[in-house]
Structure 1
């Protein structure tokens, strides 16, 4: 069973490490204290500029404008795939704009052709970068990393790592593909996170065991510089209905010091959600980009330390958190983390924006 605090499986004698993403991270220190600063919600199925607001799966913050960028995981089934902008005013969150994401030919994405999941401002160009999860069903659609202008116009993208492509018996599982995106090293690197293990990497988490997901580091041309195994927690509870639960990465964020904050999102039917945020340290982790299967390989995953468990805060609900970003600093110098939940366009869920302070 994979521990939910620090996991150290069998290790190779020597790991192939990437210096740019293994700068010192203070994992020996106690985890910083976190405090709930605020929570606000958006009305279910609210209308904004001709769109249905929901499915918010990624969030980022522009410190220059104090504006937030969000992405909806609507697969162009309600309205065309799109992003939103917004800002906090008087403790409430107000949307300020929306733009459809466009294909290279300037058209919107047809229904079912895209599955937006995460979004980031480019710290160098100001463009928008976003991920599409891909599809394993009647047809195979590879995950994708794309870039766009502020108006949603397609401006390019980079290829994904070859081992993350959909194939008949290898690659991501259904709904366990490309979920998280973050810039690192001042924008020189893009780091992505798979939600769960690849088919060849073993079974998804259960209550009996965790699993290994892959974090991939690429430069701005798409060259893969490293890939690391991330140890997912086991599913946190048994379902009273007998349904299978799940656990996976729903977002990743650079901590600015060579490590990452990773959101693990678990759901169990009849119980609800468990949301935990971990500090992940890649120092000493095995580079697994050339490891065909993690199921039987001796690899050292990234180390992780619990930063926050949302069940410990006085929230109206612990919902389906899928986005995380650094917000502005507080007057006392603490950093803020802003989280957003994906309501799956369901009346039984909510679109939350949660602000935490990290000391």
Structure 2
């Protein structure tokens, strides 16, 4: 197996690097001791690592291949699960240990402790040499063996893990075809503060798995060596002990986990559970068969570049949404560039105040807002004819350019002269004067937790993703794309936070309430639209390679949702504190229309939709059979400035629930 970026073409299902489907992991953690100080942060290590390693957007280890061993009582409780895991891991075996590590003056060996271990009694511990021997014995059956040791040697700290590596020779850690990562260097003490959720070393490892490497957004996978380098950098910034690594046969260079900071479309595979994969295949087959028999939606419907069914059309039986039109015109020559600026990366969408047009903010630099005409005069919103009519750079208050920018959320304030723009890089929410693009005033205040580490606990590339303001401007909502570090998922459904601000258009806004929102499996919160003071529309989207995008819009009722401002960590049992939501439209259920796709999609209509805007009322009836009281809803996809993706605009009619 060769090392390097996981970007080359390969056959579907072909494994590159460490294959989670053929691997296993043993997570051992000792927190409760009879004769040594307890380590209360160790269980948090096991919880987070178990969740992340089985998350297919991180690695995707099958849930039945990860074994947690909390508070083993005897040496056999440590070795037994390792023997069992060997039988399940022809590719990679990971053994993780967190607890007290001891050494004796007699032989200068490392001894792993169990709950009943006593200091200076090596017979009550497990010599690491025995673990090494077990791993050496299976070298012909297990291709890669990874050991992660978050432990000490001396255990002198009363409320932590004391460590000294003076007696730990490289030979002790050397196993052919293996990689060993240790928490400390020679003669240092590791940190395990009982007031923290994780031990220091494992906490940094968890952050890396959770957030990826934001400095390498071009890199899709991270190797163990790259993880070690990131650990060294982050621990050094905190003046904590430096970790060590021992690599045999180049295991450390192999692609390992997905880099969650990659700018490629997010891939939330939990949306595609085995049951849903089967359901999607059956639904597709039955649709094609029924369509062919009826003489429409013929089997070639789903092939790249074929003609699509006519629209408008309902988005599923009993749906409250109708697809009115869809257009890829902004991707076509003559429309994909305006005055030398590439029309790409459109991530936030907002309707212009009373003009019938719209604004779209570009992610990444150059920081720009495009002015769009959505349709021909008199045809809006039934027929799309999108084109760019203007472009405005976004500048700092002194007129200089932003060197780092990642525009995501966009709202036009009352009066139409200013807009609020959120940037994930910073992160920041800024007020922009639309006439010249200059920032007015200071950034809006953000909770400290909404910043990436070390200031906060948010993902560096999935933080302040969406903005929404109610019509009178008194309430502003800012939504996080992904959970904060430490906020638990619920079977793949992300528990994200929405900050509510109180203030006025063009004036000052202050945070006054934090609301929880739970996405569907594997999807992320991409955009918000305010319908009223306590009602939002929420756009959820995600991506899995080989199956494509998931795009859904929900109506959200904020009444009854708990105020989470002072809630440090969300847990699974907090589901009842989240805002209530109701499905409005699943884009996969809409008629495909006359669009093309070069990607694998369950419906060629689907793409990386990130922007959403709620439009005016639409007359009932007509060819589209629009229900009474419907409103226009516009969606736009972000092509990530990649030629293989599409800038696509959608127009729908939606019938909203009455408050």
Pair in the same fold by TM > 0.5:
yes
Structure number with larger C-alpha Rg: 2
Matched, 1:107 2:107: no
Residue 319, structure 1, aligned to residue 593, structure 2: no
Give a deviation string over 1:72-121, Cα, whole Å, max 9, x none: 10x22xxx2100001123331121100000012101112xx111111110
Question: Where does 1:118-133 land on structure 2 (aligned, <5 Å)?
Answer: 118-124=409-415, 126-133=417-424
Q: Does 1:273 align with 2:549?
A: yes
Quote the offset at 1:160 in angstroms: 1.2
Show the 5 A alignment for 1:7-86: 33-41=320-328, 42-43=330-331, 46-73=336-363, 75-76=364-365, 80-86=366-372
Question: Would the aligned equivalents of 1:44 and 1:350 in 2 still touch at CA under 8 Å?
Answer: no
8 Å CA contact 1:170, 1:200 repeated in 2: no
State the secondary structure of the residue aligned to 1:314. coil
What secondary structure does 2:532 align onto? coil
Inter-partner Cα distance in structure 2 for 1:334 and 1:161 = 36
Measure the CA separation in 1 of the matches of 2:408 and 2:355. 23
Shift of 1:48: 0.8
Q: Does the 8 Å contact 2:634/2:652 carry over to 1?
A: yes
Compare relative contact order (CA 8 Å, sep 6+) and give the higher one, 1 or 2.
Answer: 1
Superposition pairs for residues 210-249 of structure 1, below 5 Å?
Answer: 210-220=493-503, 221-235=508-522, 247-249=523-525
8 Å contact from structure 1 (residues 36, 357) kept in 2: yes
Change (3 A) 1:32 1:160: farther
Q: Is the 8 A contact 1:291 1:297 kept in 2?
A: no
Residue of structure 1 in register with 2:484 after alignment: 198
Match of 1:97 among 390, 395, 406: 390
Alignment of 1:96-175 (within 5 A): 96-110=389-403, 113-124=404-415, 126-134=417-425, 142-150=426-434, 151-156=436-441, 157-168=443-454, 170-175=456-461
Which of 526, 544, 560 is equivalent to 1:284?
Answer: 560
* In structure 2, distance between residues paired with 1:89 and 1:324: 16
Equivalenced residues, count: 304
Shift of 1:161: 2.0
SS at structure 2 position matched to 1:327: strand
Gaps of 5+ in 1: 5-30, 135-141, 236-246
Indicate the residue corresponding to 1:252 in structure 2.
528
> When you count helix as a share of all residues, which structure comes out higher?
2
Q: How does 1:301-316 map to 2 (within 5 A)?
A: 301-315=578-592, 316=595
Cα RMSD, aligned residues only: 2.2
Q: Helix, strand or coil for the counterpart of 2:477?
A: strand
Output the CA distance in 2 between the equivalents of 1:58 and 1:273. Answer: 18
Q: Which has the higher strand share?
A: 1
CA contact (8 A) 2:448 2:456 kept: no
Q: Distance in 1 between matches of 2:514 and 2:423?
A: 19
Counterpart Cα distance in 1 of 2:527 and 2:399: 28
Structure 1 residues 226, 124: CA separation in 2 closer, same or farther (over 3 Å shift)? Answer: farther
Shift of 1:257: 5.4
Distance 1:234 1:224 in 2: 29
Q: Cα gap change, 1:131/1:44 in structure 2, threshold over 3 Å: closer, same or farther? A: farther
Q: Is the 8 A contact 2:353 2:415 kept in 1?
A: no
Asked if the contact 1:44–1:347 (Cα under 8 Å) also holds between the matched residues in 2, the reply is no
Q: What is the Cα deviation at residue 258 of structure 1?
A: 2.0
Structure 2: stretches of 5+ with no match in the other structure = 1-270, 272-317, 377-383, 596-604, 621-628
Shift of 1:211: 1.8
Q: TM-score, normalised by structure 2?
A: 0.44
Whole-Å Cα distance in 2 between the matches of residues 146 and 322 of structure 1?
Answer: 19
TM-score for the superposition, normalised by structure 1: 0.80
Contact 1:338 / 1:355 at 8 angstroms: preserved in 2?
yes
Q: Secondary structure of the residue that 1:291 maps to in structure 2?
A: coil
User: Does structure 2 retain, via aligned residues, the 8 Å contact 1:160–1:222?
Assistant: no
